[in-house]
Structures are given as C-alpha cells and as structure tokens.
Amino acid sequence: MSFPEDLKYTENDEWVRVEGNKGTAGISDYAQEHLSDVVYVEIMPGEGDSFSKGDPVATIESVKAAADVYAPISGKIISVNEGLADNPELINTDPYGEAWMIRFEIADPSEFDGLMDVAAYKKVCEERDRS
C-alpha cells in the first residue's frame, strides 16, 4: 500500500496535493484497497463550481460498497477528471496519479493545516485495521 509523503490526508481517506494556490484531490490507496474493484465513479461538481470543505464531490461504487468522496478543503473547480467515468478502474491501479478526481483553486489555505500528514494518516489506517 502506498502513502505518498508529499500529500495531506483526511480521516475519510481523501488526499490533496497542493501546488501554489491550486489543489488536486482523490482517494487514497488505502481507500481503494478496502473498496475493492471500482466499477463506477460520478464527480458531481463541474468546472467553475465552488465547494466547501466536507462537501460531497464524488460517488464511487465498487463490487463491495458505495462511498462518497468529500472535499478535503474549500475551493473552486478548475477541472474534473472526465476519464474516470469510462475508466473507473484507474482508482484501483493509480489512485494518486491518473485517478485524481478534482483540480481546484484553494479558497482558504488555512484549512490545509487541519489535514493529516502521512505519519498521522498511516496511524489512523493502522488503528482501523486493528479494530
């Protein structure tokens, strides 16, 4: 299982990569592994839409379960990964690369401080696995 060090994570298993005032977000390798084979992805906001931290931004369905994906921080959509609709399995094979979900302008950079670094996120995942 992969945990890139350059990302920040949420307790709901979303990741965000920040570059300047822009962010890219998706779901973690841990999340995709627990969902199993992803068969459907719907990204709800469109280009130009604004959203708040915690808003649902996507729905994922797998052979095991369905899950909502939430915005890790607030922003305004620059682009959505349209390719996931036709290739939802990318979430299983490349969750931190080709399977990004949204790219956005960051509305409130201070929200980034509330996210977990890789060490904290790994600890949360390990605690869940022990439960």
For residue 50, pLDDT over 90 is answered with: yes
Which pLDDT belongs to residue 1?
84
What pTM did the predictor assign?
Answer: 0.94
User: Can you give the residue ranges of every domain in the chain?
Assistant: 8-108
Percent of the chain with pLDDT over 90: 96
**CATH dotted code for 8-108:** 2.40.50.100
131 band by pLDDT with thresholds 50, 70 and 90: confident
Q: How far apart are CA 53 and CA 50, in angstroms?
A: 10
87-123 confidence digits (pLDDT tens): 999 999 999 999 999 999 999 999 999 999 999 999 9
Confidence of residue 86 (pLDDT cuts 50, 70, 90): very high
pLDDT at 120: 97
Sheet holding 75-80, edge to edge: 8-9, 14-19, 22-27, 102-106, 75-80, 50-51
